[in-house]
Amino acid sequence: MENVPHRICWEQRKLGTVTGVKDVISFDEEEVRVETTMGVLAIEGKELQVKQLSVERGEMELEGNIRQLTYTESREQKGKRLMGRLFR
């Protein structure tokens, strides 16, 4: 999975493709959260639907009214940071 490049492609803020997907954290009609090779990606909008998903290939297709994309640290990175602070 680490070899799959992370890429996002949106068409008219309605249809999107994301590659480099490692895991789906949560999804509903207003937010989809996925862990990617570049961190956790939160996709916010309305009427969001995951049309296709293949974690094995690291690909996801999404449809809906996309309003915002936000990256945060991956769960793995947060764990490393916490352990580093504990064992200084």
**7-86 maps to which CATH number?**
2.60.40.2000
Q: Do 67 and 14 touch, CB atoms closer than 8 A?
A: no
CA dist 20 → 8, 25, 56 (Å): 9, 14, 10
DSSP-derived 3-state class of residue 60: strand
Q: Quick check: 28 pLDDT over 90?
A: yes
- C-alpha distances in Å from residue 43, one per residue of 17, 63, 79: 12, 11, 23
37 band by pLDDT with thresholds 50, 70 and 90:
very high
**Per-residue pLDDT tens for 47-85?**
999 999 999 999 999 999 999 999 998 666 555 555 555
pLDDT over threshold 70, residue 4? yes
Report pTM: 0.79
Confidence check: pLDDT of 3 > 60: yes
Q: In what order do the strands lie in the sheet with 7-11?
A: 7-11, 15-19, 59-72, 39-54, 31-36, 21-27
Look at residue 13 and give its three-state secondary structure: coil
